[in-house]
Amino acid sequence: MNDRAVRPAERPAPGSPRRRLQAVPDAAPRRRPRLGYAIVAFAGAVAIAVAQMSLSVLTTQSSYELANLNQERREASLQAQELRDEVAGLSSPQYLAANAAVMGMVIDGAPSFLRLSDGKIIGDSAAAGAASTVDAAKRGAVGNALLERRPLTTDPKATIEGKKEEPAKAAPQEKPEAELPPPLTEGLPSPTTR
């Protein structure tokens, strides 16, 4: 199309100003980025990296502390179980009967009862003999592994099985030397075959 040839439909109306083409002004020259913005951006990136590393170190440290606390809890629960077993052994009927026998208490075969309403004694009213009619520590007693080596509270040299004999102090025996395997000379040892 020609600039001068204008179509009739595009003709401006009478009295309207004509359009003129104008050149666009040049773009403003680009300014150099300021050094301050670069420093702020770099400092922000460094701060984020330091914060991330710090959180990672704290998380790792916390996991080690948690593992240590879990180990302490397991050890404490094992120790509590050992103490419960010890209490169960010390409160067992065998242990109480053995301590009572060492103190001279006896079990009478024919028990007597005191009726509180009228104060009457029911049963044999005679005193128990010097020897116990029931041997609670030996005959018919159920073995208790918790009490095998436990000394009695009334006699530290005695156990529930009876008096411990003090072993005579003997000279320490020398341990026989274990047979050592043959020395390695070349490669792995192999059995001798014929």
- List the beta strands (DSSP E) in the chain: 113-114, 121-122, 158-159, 162-163
Maximum Cα interatomic distance, the chain, rounded to a whole number of Å: 150
Task: With cut-offs at 50, 70 and 90, classify the pLDDT of residue 70.
Answer: very high
pLDDT value of residue 124: 77
Mean confidence (pLDDT) of the chain? 75
Q: How far apart are CA 155 and CA 99, in angstroms?
A: 8
Torsion sign over Cα 98, 104, 105, 106: positive
pLDDT value of residue 46: 97
CB 107 within 8 A of CB 131: no
Q: What share of the chain has pLDDT > 90, as a percent? A: 24
Q: What are phi and psi of 49, to 5 degrees?
A: -65, -45
Task: With cut-offs at 50, 70 and 90, classify the pLDDT of residue 59.
Answer: very high
The predicted-structure confidence for 109-167, as pLDDT tens digits, reads as follows 677 888 899 988 888 777 766 666 566 555 555 566 667 667 777 777 777 666 554 55
Q: How far apart are CA 17 and CA 34, in angstroms?
A: 46
66: helix, strand or coil: helix
Question: Which residues share a beta bridge with 114?
Answer: 121
Average of per-residue pLDDT across 73-98: 86
114: helix, strand or coil: strand
Q: How far apart are CA 109 and CA 99, in angstroms?
A: 19
- Which tops the pLDDT comparison, 17 or 8? 17
- Which tops the pLDDT comparison, 142 or 77? 77
CB 153 within 8 A of CB 99: yes
pLDDT value of residue 190: 66
- Which tops the pLDDT comparison, 30 or 1? 30
